[in-house]
Amino acid sequence: MDSILVRGGGPLNGQIPIAGAKNACLTLMPATLLSEEPLTLTNAPRLSDIKTMTQLLQSLGAEVTSLQEGKVLAMSSHGLNNPTAHYDIVRKMRASILVLGPMLARDGHAIVSLPGGCAIGARPVDLHLKALEAMGAELDLRDGYVHAKAPLGGLRGGTVDFEFASVGATENAVMAATLAKGTTVLNNAAREPEIVDLVECLRAMGAQIEGEGSSTITIQGVDRLGGATHRVVTDRIELGTYMLAPAICGGEVELLGGKIDLIGAFCEKLDAAGISVTETDKGLKVARKNGRIRAVDVTTEPFPGFPTDLQAQMMALLCTAEGTSVLEEKIFENRFMHAPELMRMGAQIDVQGGTATVTGVDQLRGAPVMATDLRASVSLILAGLAAQGETRVARVYHLDRGYEQVVRKLSGVGADIERVQGE
Ligand code: EPZ
């Protein structure tokens, strides 16, 4: 397993290009199952999670061809020949559950392994299943798999009242409803930009959908969907992550492709912490306003609130702030695993359940640390950029799931960072 070595240093300056969104691509790819016509995605990120989703779709009989070094995914599923999404692939990536809705809508049956939990929480899929049942699906859970069948005439439009604005459950329900007979209304739907991106792609394929980005989405089922070519939306989590690099180190960095409307709540917190964000014709320019970062309190919420996927990275910044910050993680039950690793670098953090109290220190110190999950891994790199001395982040396979070319992007703005073989 590779490690990343980071040597803390001075300010960072230059430009970082932001890739297409992993969490948009992971729901756009299963959408190919809804149509026999080709679906092509451009601006796709080059990540191990995308490779895993490619393997999964190919195991179902879909064709997925990676072009232009992975930035274009040409897909077609005119010939599905296997209704089963096997555990050995699903266990590697929870987003695999997103093939369930499209397969059920397209073929009327699907057998999908339950994804199981992951490091940050149990992450059940009950809301996905309830949504599909509201469209007439008959679900039988046995042997660790969901055995799903649509009614004889196919899925029927229905009303879904989500107890929680689940991103994945909203995505599964929207995709399934595009081919259901009649109208489906999703109440308390998730509002994330990745869902807006999915709807724009489905609409290009011929779907009739309204309300994306709001809490109520209405889908009028159609008999069939066509093909499309769709550009994956910019990754707001990669964007927010790299905005924190000049924030924690000083200097000025322009994030190419960045847009404020993707991360409004996050930018408000940066402003309160003493970081300036300026819109340019190429993206967003980020720099410290003056002097030390100020402590701010953060509570993670569904979009448009502060994203849980930026909580670990924000904690790294606040470890160096003047004052005490309180971070509340309201989305996942175990998403502070980066805290003990940051404390190895001299951070002062007190974790009580879903609340972490961070008292800023003048200087973090480099240390050997271990990545525990995707976003924790990059928070340790951010801390290492500001720390005195060398930080060695082990188990960076977590990083490869969600960040392409981290070493190249950060060294491109002056960071002293390299990837080394083995732990
Ligand atoms: C998506 O996960 C993202 N993943 C996550 O990003 C992100 O953290 C999350 O949304 C929240 O924004 C992808 O898009 C592939 P949820 P998802 O359903 O869909 C509970 C990353 O780092 N829940 O909104 O799984 C669940 O346990 C990843 O890129 C149920 O109880 O998120 C969690 O506590 C991590 N039952 C909360 O809701 C369900 O049926 C949020 O889950 C579904 C979810």
- Percent of the residues in the chain that have a pLDDT greater than 70, as a whole number: 99
Q: Is 168 in the pocket of ligand 1 (CB under 6 A)?
A: yes
Q: Which sign does the torsion angle of CA 398, 404, 405, 407 carry?
A: negative
Give Cα separations from 188 to 136, 157, 166, 194, 199 (angstroms).
Answer: 20, 17, 9, 16, 16
> Residue 117 has what pLDDT?
65
Q: How far is the CA of 389 from the centre of ligand 1 (A)?
A: 36
Q: How far is the CA of 332 from the centre of ligand 1 (A)?
A: 8
Q: Identify how many contiguous H helices and E strands the chain contains and give both numbers.
A: 14, 24
CB 52 within 8 A of CB 64: no
Q: How far is the CA of 401 from the centre of ligand 1 (A)?
A: 16
Q: How far is the CA of 129 from the centre of ligand 1 (A)?
A: 14
Q: CATH number of the domain that 387 lies in?
A: 3.65.10.10
Q: How far is the CA of 331 from the centre of ligand 1 (A)?
A: 8
Q: Is 26 in the pocket of ligand 1 (CB under 6 A)?
A: yes
Instruction: Name residue 185's beta-bridge partners.
Output: 159, 218
CB 241 within 8 A of CB 284: no
Structure tokens at 55: 């393997």
* Helical H segments across 178-310, by residue range: 193-204, 236-249, 264-273
> Residue 394 has what pLDDT?
95
Question: In terms of domains, do 376 and 352 share one?
Answer: yes
> Residue 324 has what pLDDT?
98
> Residue 423 has what pLDDT?
57
Strands 228-231 and 208-210 come out as unpaired
Q: Is 121 in the pocket of ligand 1 (CB under 6 A)?
A: yes
pTM of the model: 0.97
> Residue 97 has what pLDDT?
95
Domain boundaries, position 388: 3-18+235-420
Question: In terms of domains, do 376 and 416 share one?
Answer: yes
> CA nearest 108: which of 55, 37, 171, 34?
34
Q: How far is the CA of 170 from the centre of ligand 1 (A)?
A: 10
Q: Which of 166, 241, 401 to mutate to test the pocket of ligand 1 (most atoms within 8 A of CB)?
A: 166
Question: In terms of domains, do 272 and 134 share one?
Answer: no
Other C-beta atoms closer than 10 Å to the C-beta of 205 total 20
Question: In terms of domains, do 325 and 176 share one?
Answer: no
Ligand 1 nearest-atom number relative to CA 190: 24
* Helical H segments across 294-419, by residue range: 311-318, 338-344, 374-386, 397-400, 406-411
Distance CA 321, CA 250 (A): 13
Q: Is 47 in the pocket of ligand 1 (CB under 6 A)?
A: no
CB 354 within 8 A of CB 330: yes
Q: How far is the CA of 341 from the centre of ligand 1 (A)?
A: 24
> Residue 30 has what pLDDT?
98
Question: In terms of domains, do 42 and 149 share one?
Answer: yes
Other C-beta atoms closer than 10 Å to the C-beta of 121 total 13
Q: Is 236 in the pocket of ligand 1 (CB under 6 A)?
A: no
Ligand 1 nearest-atom number relative to CA 164: 38
Other C-beta atoms closer than 10 Å to the C-beta of 203 total 16
Structure tokens at 196: 């807006």
CB 234 within 8 A of CB 275: no
> Residue 123 has what pLDDT?
73
Q: 3-state DSSP helix/strand/coil percent for the chain, to nearest 5?
A: 35, 30, 35
Structure tokens at 228: 């499309």
Q: Is 98 in the pocket of ligand 1 (CB under 6 A)?
A: no
Question: In terms of domains, do 202 and 296 share one?
Answer: no
Is 267 part of the annotated catalytic residue set? no
Ligand 1 nearest-atom number relative to CA 333: 34
Question: In terms of domains, do 226 and 133 share one?
Answer: yes
Question: In terms of domains, do 111 and 197 share one?
Answer: yes
H or E, element range at 185: strand 183-187
**Residue that terminates a domain, selected from 210, 231, 252:** 231
**Residue that terminates a domain, selected from 196, 212, 231:** 231
Question: In terms of domains, do 81 and 206 share one?
Answer: yes
Q: Which amino acid is at 289?
A: K
- For tokens 């912490």, what's the residue? 273
Contacts of 421 (CB under 8 A, 6+ apart): 2
> CA nearest 8: which of 296, 410, 414, 386?
386
Q: Is 308 in the pocket of ligand 1 (CB under 6 A)?
A: yes
3-state secondary structure of 377: helix
Q: Is 402 in the pocket of ligand 1 (CB under 6 A)?
A: yes
Q: Is 127 in the pocket of ligand 1 (CB under 6 A)?
A: yes
Q: Is 23 in the pocket of ligand 1 (CB under 6 A)?
A: yes
CB 179 within 8 A of CB 224: yes
> CA nearest 1: which of 284, 280, 395?
395
Q: How far is the CA of 120 from the centre of ligand 1 (A)?
A: 10
Q: Give the pLDDT confidence of 318-345 residue by residue, as tens digits.
A: 999 999 999 999 999 989 999 999 999 9
Instruction: Name residue 287's beta-bridge partners.
Output: 252, 276
Give Cα separations from 98 to 27, 33, 34, 102, 293 (angstroms).
Answer: 6, 11, 12, 8, 40
CB 23 within 8 A of CB 47: no
The closest residue, in CA terms, to atom 22 on ligand 1 is 309
Q: Which of 92, 114, 123 to mutate to test the pocket of ligand 1 (most atoms within 8 A of CB)?
A: 123
**Residue that terminates a domain, selected from 166, 198, 231:** 231
Tens of pLDDT along the chain (423 residues) come to 899 999 998 899 999 999 999 999 999 999 999 999 999 999 999 999 999 999 999 999 999 999 999 999 999 998 888 999 999 999 889 999 999 999 999 999 999 999 876 777 777 899 999 999 999 999 999 999 999 999 999 999 999 999 999 999 999 999 999 999 999 999 999 999 999 999 999 999 999 999 999 999 999 999 999 999 999 999 999 999 999 999 999 999 999 999 999 999 999 999 999 999 999 999 999 999 888 899 999 999 999 999 999 999 999 999 999 999 999 999 999 899 999 999 999 999 999 999 999 999 999 999 999 999 999 999 999 999 999 999 999 999 999 999 999 999 999 999 999 999 975
Question: In terms of domains, do 75 and 217 share one?
Answer: yes
Q: Out of 118, 201, 249, 319, pick the active-site residue.
A: 118
* The total number of structural domains that make up the chain: 2
Q: Which of 129, 309, 399 to mutate to test the pocket of ligand 1 (most atoms within 8 A of CB)?
A: 309
The closest residue, in CA terms, to atom 1 on ligand 1 is 167
Distance CA 99, CA 84 (A): 10
Question: In terms of domains, do 29 and 155 share one?
Answer: yes
Distance CA 404, CA 410 (A): 11
Contacts of 242 (CB under 8 A, 6+ apart): 16, 18, 253, 255, 409, 410
Question: In terms of domains, do 256 and 304 share one?
Answer: yes
